[in-house]
Amino acid sequence: MPAPLPLASDGYPLAGGVERRAVAEQESVRANRGWWDAAAPAYLAEHGADLGDADFLWGPEGLRESEAGLLGDVAGRRVLEVGCGSAPCARWLVSAGAQVVALDLSAGMLARAAELNGTTGLAPTLLQADVGALPLASGSVDLACSAFGGLPFVADARGALREVARVLRPGGRFVASVNHPLRWPFPDSPDPADLTVVGSYFDRTPYVETDGAGTVVYVEHHRTVGDWVRDVVGAGFVLTDLVEPEWTPGRTETWGQWSAARGALVPGTLVLVCDLPG
């Protein structure tokens, strides 16, 4: 087992260097598993109250599934959540009557999910796995979702989408939210004064953080809106809707580069609503 990553003063893994370069698929998986294991306590201390113990937020703008209804009626349905983190969305789905399998790459996140399953009495099945190789039978779930879950960290997005399509029954739906591709060329700042283009929207080179020895410890992958459309369709889905949530009135939460001031000007989240023919 690799040694835990050293932490910065804010509790997040310490980045020895930042660069843009190609990363192999398994290198991306290994790095992000280790990073989220190490970052889980700090991330949940910072965002856990906003995420809730049993709530379903599609993104930092505050759009909730209880209001959006993108998954439809979930009662009695078998649902897969990809990139569940501490699993608040999965527990909300259980409270709405669904049978839920909640999957994440990070054991650190799933440990907190197990604790919250116990304290809330809402207990989706927790599974540590990579979305690129789902340990589920074909056609075994009715619905799938991913709320800012694994997709931005996956090197082969189309392969991951094909895996989700494989485990969905014909006629099933997959809804996934990702950071809006329009955010990629701008600085990672919540201040609207920083909305100055500093990179190319069309540059798909992954964002990489390394440790002091140059080993990759974090990877995030960029895709344009057109890339997401092609990957969804290439995986066998019909793209039913693209939702760009507007900032919820009165919401004051600042989350990384997401803020009310910046959210009033440019979109921060893209929600892909995908139906499987059948």
pLDDT tens digits for 153-203?
A: 999 999 999 999 999 999 999 999 999 999 999 999 999 999 999 999 999
Q: Please compute the mean of the pLDDT values over residues 92-107 and round it to a whole number.
A: 98
pLDDT tens digits for 39-79?
A: 999 999 999 999 999 999 999 999 999 999 999 999 999 99
Q: What is the pTM of this model?
A: 0.97
Give CA–CA dist 244/192, Å, rounded.
18
Whether 273 contacts 241, CB under 8 Å: yes
Give CA–CA dist 212/17, Å, rounded.
7
Q: Which pLDDT score, from 0 to 100, does residue 4 have?
A: 81
Q: Please compute the mean of the pLDDT values over residues 128-157 and round it to a whole number.
A: 96
Domains located in the chain, CATH noted: 17-275 (3.40.50.150)
pLDDT tens digits for 224-265?
A: 999 999 999 999 999 999 999 999 999 999 999 999 999 999
> Cα dist. 143→30, 169, 185, 242 in Å?
27, 8, 33, 17
Sheet holding 269-275, edge to edge: 125-128, 99-104, 78-82, 141-147, 168-179, 269-275, 238-243
